[in-house]
Structure 1
Amino acid sequence: MIQINELSKKYKGADDFSVRDLNLTIENGEIFGLLGPNGAGKTTLISMLSSLLKPTSGHFTIDGLNYKDNKNQLKQLIGIVPQEYALYPSLTAYENLMYFGSMYGLKGQSLKDDVNTHLEAMGLAKFAHKKIDAFSGGMKRRINLISSILHNPKVLFLDEPTVGVDVQSKNVIMAHLKELNTAGTTIIYTSHHLNEAEKFCTRVGIIDHGTLICLGKPQELIAQEENAENLEGVFLAKTGKALRDHA
C-alpha cells in the first residue's frame, strides 16, 4: 500500500536531517506502528506521506500513486487524525462532521446517514447538536476520528489517537479502529503508549534520528531482544534511556 524509497527531509536552516534515506514498505491491510522518541522524525515522515511537507529527496507511492504526479488523487485516499484537535469549537459535532464530509465531496442524505451512523457507533448521537467547546477530551478525540474517516480512506494516519482520554473513550476508539482495519483500511499509528502499540499493531518500526533502526512484529522483536519482556523493553534497548526533550 505504501512504498517509501530513500526518503529524506532537512528543514531550512537545520543542521541535521529530520528523516534520512528512509526505506519502508507497508502492506495493504496492516496496522503499522511508527514508534520513536521525541524528535525522532515520526511527525515529519507522516507529514510527507500526507503531502503536507515536500521531501528534500527520495520518493514514495501510496496505492501505486506517486505524490509528485497524483497529489490530489492521493489526498482522496488518505485520512489524517492529528494529535491536536482539528475541529471548529463554535460549531456542533454534527455541523463539524457535515463540513468535513463536504470537503471530501460527500453530500446529501448519504453524508447525513454516514454522520449519524458514526456518531451512534462512537456513543455520541445524543450530543450531536452540542457545540464542540463543551465536549470532554475523549469526546473531541472521537469526533476528530470520525471527521477523518467519513470518506472511507484506504490509508488512515493516526498521531497519538488516544492521548489524554479516559479508559472508556480509549476502548471505543481502539475498537472502532480495529473494525475499520477489518473492513480494509490500512492504518499507520504513532504513539508513546507502547503497551497499546504492542497489542494493537500487526507490525512496528522504530525510528530514531530520522533513521529506521528496528522493524518487525511486536512479539518477534521482544523475543529477539535479550532481557526485553515487552515492547517498551525493546524500545529502550534500541533508543537508550537518555531524556529526549525536543522543541
Structure 2
Amino acid sequence: MSQIIVETATPPCIVVDHVSKRFLRRNTHSFKEAFVSWIKRRKVRADTFTALDDISFQIGQGEAVGILGLNGSGKSTTLKLISGVLDPDSGGVFTRGRVAGLIEVGAGFHPDLSGRENVYLNAAILGMGRKEIDERFDDIVAFSEIGEFIDQEVKHYSSGMFMRLAFSVAIHVDVDILLVDEVLSVGDAPFRAKCYAKIRELTARGVTMVVVSHDTKMIKELCGRGIVIRKGRKIFDGAIDEAVDQVAR
C-alpha cells in the first residue's frame, strides 16, 4: 500500500523508508512448560509478531514530532529503530547528525558509579570530550537538581533522579536529534515545565525532537506534528491536533 510522505520544510535529518520489524513470539507460557517440552522432545511452537509494517516518514531539521498510538502500536519500537538500538528487518532508517536517546530511564547508567562518574561516562558515550564535559558539568548538575547526591552511587537514586540526570546530560550535549520516550512523565510539575522550556529552546536552535508519550497535553505543547501508528501501521501524519483526535477514535 502506498503511503503519503509529508514533505518537510527543512532538509530531512530522519528518514524511515518502508520499515518493517518483527519479533519472535514463542507459544509457551512459562519456563516450566518450555522445559517439559524440551524433556519430551516436543517442539516449542513459535511465530512472529509484526511490530511495524511498512512504515515510512521523514522528519526535517528542527521539527518537534510526536509519535502517538495505543499501547503495543509500535511507537517505542519506532524510536528504538531511529536510535539504532534495533535494526529493521526490511527497509531502511537514516539519520543525519548526532543522536541522543532518552528511551529507557537510567539505561545508560552504571549502578555502582556515582552520579558524577555517570555524567562523564554518558557524556563521553554521546561524543563529548573531557574538556567539554568539565565546562558543562556544573550546568548539567544544576539543571538536574541532584545537588549533594551527585557523588552518591546511582543505585541509590530514585527513578525521578535517574530521569533528571539522564535528561540533563542529553540536553547539554551538542546533539542534532533528541529522542524522548515517556521519561518526561517522571518528576514534579516545575521540573517538567523546565524540561518543556529547554526542548523549545533546542528546537529553536535547530535540534530535531521526536517524542513518544501518552500525555496528549504535553505532546500538544511540544510538537507541531503528529504521526499516529495503529497495530504497526502508520494511519496519520499531519497537524498535532488532528493526530491526537485520530488516537481517540
> TM class by shorter-chain length?
0.7 to 0.9
Partner of 2:65, secondary structure, is strand
Q: Are the equivalent residues in 2 in contact too, given 1:97–1:146 (CA < 8 A)? A: no
* Corresponding residue to 2:180 among 158, 177, 201: 158
Distance 1:137 1:172 in 2: 18
Change (3 A) 1:172 1:152: same
Q: Give the superposition deviation at 1:55.
A: 1.0
In the alignment, what sits opposite 2:89?
Answer: 56
TM-score (norm: length of structure 1): 0.78
Matching residue's letter, 1:19:
L
Distance 1:104 1:2 in 2: 18
Q: Give the superposition deviation at 1:194.
A: 1.0
Distance 1:236 1:14 in 2: 31
Q: Are the equivalent residues in 2 in contact too, given 1:41–1:207 (CA < 8 A)? A: yes
Q: Are the equivalent residues in 1 in contact too, given 2:140–2:165 (CA < 8 A)? A: no
Which 5+ residue runs of structure 2 have no aligned equivalent? 1-12, 25-45
Flag the structure with larger Rg.
2
Q: Are the equivalent residues in 2 in contact too, given 1:6–1:22 (CA < 8 A)? A: yes
* Corresponding residue to 1:215 among 234, 237, 245: 237
Measured against aligned partners, the alpha-carbon deviations of 1:97-156 in whole angstroms (never above 9, x if no partner) come to 011122244333321121222222333344432332443433221111123344311111
Partner of 1:96, secondary structure, is helix
Instruction: Summarize the alignment of residues 177-192 of structure 1 with structure 2, pairs less than 5 Å apart.
Output: 177-192=199-214
Instruction: Summarize the alignment of residues 141-152 of structure 1 with structure 2, pairs less than 5 Å apart.
Output: 141-152=163-174
Distance 1:140 1:20 in 2: 33
Distance 2:219 2:126 in 1: 30
Matching residue's letter, 2:230:
D
In the alignment, what sits opposite 1:47?
Answer: 80
TM-score (norm: length of structure 2): 0.78
In the alignment, what sits opposite 1:79?
Answer: 100
Aligned length: 215
1:19 lines up with 2:52 in the alignment:
yes
Which 5+ residue runs of structure 1 have no aligned equivalent? 64-73, 223-230, 238-247
> More displaced, 196-205 or 131-140?
131-140
Matching residue's letter, 1:236:
A
Q: Are the equivalent residues in 2 in contact too, given 1:5–1:22 (CA < 8 A)? A: yes
